[in-house]
Structure 1
Amino acid sequence: MAAVLMPAADLQIYASNPWQEFGRMGVGLITPRWESLTELAMAIAQTVAFALLGVVGSVIAGLALTRFYHLRIVRVFCASIRAVHELFWALIFMQVFGLSALTGLLAIALPYSGIFAKVFSEIFSQQPVLPAISVAGKSNKLPFSAWLYTQFAQALPQIRSYTRYRFECALRSSTLLGFVGLPTLGFYFETAFKQGQYSEAACLLWCFYLVIASLRYWLHWRIIPLYIIAAWLILPESPPLINSYVWQFFSRDIWPVELIQGDYLGALHWYGVELRETIFPAAAYTLIISIIALVATGLLTLLLYPAASNKFAGRFTFLGHAVLLFFRSTPEFVLAFVLLLLFGPSALPAIIALAIHNSGLISYLIARHSNDLSLRPDALRGLNLYCYEVTPRLYPAFMGLLLYRWEVIMRETAILGILGVTTLGFYVDSAFEEIRYDRALLLVATAAFMNIIVDSLSRRLARAC
């Protein structure tokens, strides 16, 4: 499918001499600098603050939703909110709350709540039921206190592990909020990069990697309450909230005028025009780019994972792990932003960025899996070992992870339109700039619907593999 769809994707390089620009970036990467250490420290602190408070709020909401996740309406609600990218939520809330702390917190907390509800529900379903049955006795319902001391207590190690991983993801999301104007690392990175100040941009990037790499040293559960208090004090000041405008936005601005006036035939015509002229072309192009990026991710993963596997790299696995850490820690949006400045506004930078980031994560997990494989004393060596023993044994897990990431790739493909690629995000950003909130809502709903469909399809394909 990817091979058939490639002619429909714009893979042209528009820049005349990207290698000269690459050279300047390389020099900047090895000569990082920043004038004001206070400004740099505040940008890092606010990036961490948005991520921490967003995750704390979403963990609480996710646990609350987990108690009712058996209800279809709750599952649909969670699927709907997590299907919308954080930047789309930020663009929506920015129209209501402006460039405020509330915009950033809601943009992270809302989709993450849906993610946590789903994952926590899966974790709880994997726990032994005997303790809960013993506590519940003849009752069909498990009281909250009994649930807390049985199901929750058993699942706590897995919950903590996944929350730590999700906090790392939230740091990337918090950085991206800077691209819509919030004072996180992404804001300063975009400014420095557009001005050609690659040393300043590299300094911000190295600081971001340092924060990610040092999580194990400063993220300790016992001092999280102190971090929460500090994060709350560090958040930027928010403008006063005007309740009447909030009501107007959600009750009138996001709906077509014809629908508000009761002209249902006119509203139906408006939706038909939007579907034909905007929704279908944007959705089709988003799907095309996501499929090509998915296949590119798979191919790159098969090339990369041996570099971090002790079955192939031996004592040099640390080099492979360093490369994969760089790949998976750099947000796709940042990678695409850099590549777009080099190659122009085509789909090629988006595909490369998506493949690099997602292959870094899958390669890391597959390499860890390969380290647990037991080989016979007379096992094959070199390329034969890779082709005929290790890779075939890893292939089911590899395909499962790859198809699981398809939903993520679809979300990122849509949002990369903000950078100029003509996916759904391009039209969403344009609609907000033109103050066409009705069109923007329809486009965001389309992106969410596509993610839900792709998530369902990828799970069925994974089971078939």
Structure 2
Amino acid sequence: MQNKSLQFQHSPRWKVSWLFVVIAILCIPFADLSINTFDPGAELIRFFSGLFNLSFKNINNPIEALLQTIAFAFLGVAFGCVAGFFLALIFHFKFIRIFCALVRSVHELFWALIFLQIFGLHPLTGLLALGLPYAATFAKVFAEIIDESDSRAYDNVRQSSNLISAFFYARLPDLWPHFVSYTSYRLECGLRSSTVLGFVGLPTLGYYLSTAFLEGQYADVWALLILFYVLIASIRYWVRPKLLPFYLFISVFVIHNDSVISFENITRFFTHDIIPSPIRNQESFASLWNWFSNLFLNEALPGIFNTLVLTQLALVLTGIITLLWFPLISKLFFNYFSRSVGHSFLVIMRSTPEYILTFILLTLWGPSMLPAVVALMLHNGAITAHLMGKFSDQIKPRMDKSTGLNFYAYEVVPKIYNQFLAFLFYRWEIIMRETAILGILGITTLGFYIDSAIADIRFDKAMILIAITALLNVGVDSLSRYIRSRLRLKTTVECV
């Protein structure tokens, strides 16, 4: 028998993990991670002192803001769910898949900025800003649920019945629990997104939050944040299927206002405002090329670079914080009381939209990439840590298991690392989308240049930059799916 020398080789997952860590390290010199406030410690003390002096005295009607937040979320999610369901039925068409990918790659705040120019503060602005990207997301997820379900009963019934009857009687009952579960999750996302829409002028909780922050009224800020946390934490108690028709009916009247849609604005937006100025002014092709070149080199390219730098730093730090935080809610490491504390902490972190976290940290630390990196890390890290903590509960430890750090590093992490990477790469495109929108707060990602173009009433530039943002997100999503496919990332606990 011929002896063969065995050489140890790291797994592809190990190599990819370290590749992303190295890329993040290389990004650090290009990221502005400074603290620019004169005395951040004093500002931090002022901020947390508001927690012990809660007040709504500077807020006209917090209950109305809360109801507006809930109403926009309900109607936006309902629109997205219904539209997404019908899109899912034809999701096998390539055109539909591409259309949905582009629509969901544009953040809700970007959609809100677009619709503000068309409808003003009419309720349609908030409904479409939530409903359009949610419809595209619902379509993708519902289509995946349909594809992965057992279709044998449907195929049998289809032979003696029409397509619609067969689907609703033989397919939908099996799919329904999965649809309901995902829609419930989307409602929580809708409440967060609805809150953030207030930062661009809609009368939700975010509007009063931004005002309180800018005025330094931290007691009001904490009162609004706690009100928001209670809203998110209590969803399971007040959201009941039988009450949904009532909630939707009431929501229509809650968001109603006196705004009137101007068809002149709509016509001008589509026939004048978003047409590139060289075309609008009937200039030469050379002028159009110079216009686009200047836009791409001076705004799009720096925005793309900063967006990618911030995304890669946030992605790797999200992975690190996930590995540190998931034991907080895992049965493998803590008792019931400790897990309850850990669960409460993660709920607060994942319930606070990254936009609001960034806004808070910018107020405390000043303008730089550091607040955005930390906010993205905390928010996305809490989400993935929650998922990984629940996933780790499936592990059955060996009878002779080690304890402490050895148990964590050599028995638990290797068994869940496959799923950890799957979750992390799934969040990659989401982090990219969130990174772009943080530019509205002054961080020089693509969102900064989009917001500046809108402020200068240059909607032609803004639409080009939004399109570039969408294509960048689609590219990252495609790369993420390719990596997950190549690494054969699974959704079950791996035995080692």
Report the TM-score, using the length of structure 1 for normalisation: 0.97
Equivalent residue number for residue 158 of structure 2: 136
Is the 1:296–1:355 contact (alpha carbons within 8 Å) kept by the matching residues of 2? Answer: yes
Aligned AA (2:390): R
Equivalent residue number for residue 432 of structure 1: 454
Of 253, 272, 275, the match for 1:255: 275
User: What SS is found at the alignment partner of 1:357?
Assistant: helix
Is the 1:85–1:412 contact (alpha carbons within 8 Å) kept by the matching residues of 2? Answer: yes
| 1:135-190 superposed Cα distances (whole Å, 9 cap, x missing partner) | 11179xx6122212222221100100000000100101000010001100000011
Change (3 A) 1:72 1:262: farther
Instruction: For 1:31-430, list aligned pairs within 5 A.
Output: 31-35=53-57, 39-137=61-159, 143-260=163-280, 261=282, 263-315=284-336, 316-430=338-452
Equivalent residue number for residue 463 of structure 1: 485
User: What SS is found at the alignment partner of 1:15?
Assistant: coil
| 1:24-78 superposed Cα distances (whole Å, 9 cap, x missing partner) | 1111123322138871111100000000000001111001111111100000110
After TM superposition, the runs of 4+ consecutive aligned structure 1 residues lying more than 3 A away are none
Is the 2:100–2:137 contact (alpha carbons within 8 Å) kept by the matching residues of 1? Answer: yes
Q: CA deviation at 1:310?
A: 1.5
Q: CA deviation at 1:282?
A: 0.6
Counterpart-to-counterpart distance in 2, 1:342 and 1:368:
34
Equivalent residue number for residue 48 of structure 2: 26
Is the 1:301–1:362 contact (alpha carbons within 8 Å) kept by the matching residues of 2? Answer: yes
Change (3 A) 1:263 1:151: farther
Is the 1:102–1:238 contact (alpha carbons within 8 Å) kept by the matching residues of 2? Answer: no
Aligned AA (1:183): P
Is the 1:99–1:238 contact (alpha carbons within 8 Å) kept by the matching residues of 2? Answer: no
Is the 1:124–1:152 contact (alpha carbons within 8 Å) kept by the matching residues of 2? Answer: no
Provide structure 1 residue ranges, at least 5 long, that are not aligned to the other structure.
none
Aligned AA (1:295): V
User: What SS is found at the alignment partner of 1:373?
Assistant: coil
Counterpart-to-counterpart distance in 1, 2:90 and 2:447:
32
Q: CA deviation at 1:248?
A: 1.7
310-319 or 347-356: bigger deviation:
310-319
Give the alignment's Cα RMSD to 1 decimal. 1.3
Counterpart-to-counterpart distance in 1, 2:407 and 2:414:
10
Aligned AA (1:454): V
239-248 or 120-129: bigger deviation:
239-248
Is the 1:51–1:167 contact (alpha carbons within 8 Å) kept by the matching residues of 2? Answer: yes
Q: CA deviation at 1:377?
A: 1.4
Is the 2:122–2:260 contact (alpha carbons within 8 Å) kept by the matching residues of 1? Answer: no
Is the 1:101–1:238 contact (alpha carbons within 8 Å) kept by the matching residues of 2? Answer: no
| 1:304-349 superposed Cα distances (whole Å, 9 cap, x missing partner) | 1111111112231111111111110000000000000111110000
Aligned AA (2:397): L
240-249 or 57-66: bigger deviation:
240-249
Aligned AA (1:108): L
User: What SS is found at the alignment partner of 1:342?
Assistant: helix
Equivalent residue number for residue 448 of structure 1: 470
Q: CA deviation at 1:257?
A: 2.2
Counterpart-to-counterpart distance in 2, 1:251 and 1:163:
37
Counterpart-to-counterpart distance in 2, 1:268 and 1:34:
53
Counterpart-to-counterpart distance in 2, 1:276 and 1:25:
40
27-36 or 128-137: bigger deviation:
27-36
Counterpart-to-counterpart distance in 2, 1:38 and 1:210:
20
Aligned AA (1:194): L
Q: CA deviation at 1:411?
A: 0.6
Aligned AA (2:393): N
Is the 2:58–2:220 contact (alpha carbons within 8 Å) kept by the matching residues of 1? Answer: no
Q: CA deviation at 1:242?
A: 1.8
Provide structure 2 residue ranges, at least 5 long, that are not aligned to the other structure.
1-22, 488-496
Aligned length: 463
Aligned AA (2:230): L
Counterpart-to-counterpart distance in 1, 2:171 and 2:267:
40
User: What SS is found at the alignment partner of 2:61?
Assistant: helix
Aligned AA (1:71): F
User: What SS is found at the alignment partner of 2:81?
Assistant: helix
| 1:235-265 superposed Cα distances (whole Å, 9 cap, x missing partner) | 0414221213202201221121222326333
Is the 2:101–2:136 contact (alpha carbons within 8 Å) kept by the matching residues of 1? Answer: yes
258-267 or 364-373: bigger deviation:
258-267
Counterpart-to-counterpart distance in 2, 1:146 and 1:265:
58
Aligned AA (1:293): A
Is the 1:28–1:198 contact (alpha carbons within 8 Å) kept by the matching residues of 2? Answer: yes
User: What SS is found at the alignment partner of 2:310?
Assistant: helix
Aligned AA (2:362): L
Equivalent residue number for residue 35 of structure 2: 13
Counterpart-to-counterpart distance in 1, 2:277 and 2:327:
57
Aligned AA (1:304): W
Change (3 A) 1:5 1:79: same
Aligned AA (2:294): V
240-249 or 113-122: bigger deviation:
240-249
Counterpart-to-counterpart distance in 1, 2:103 and 2:424:
22
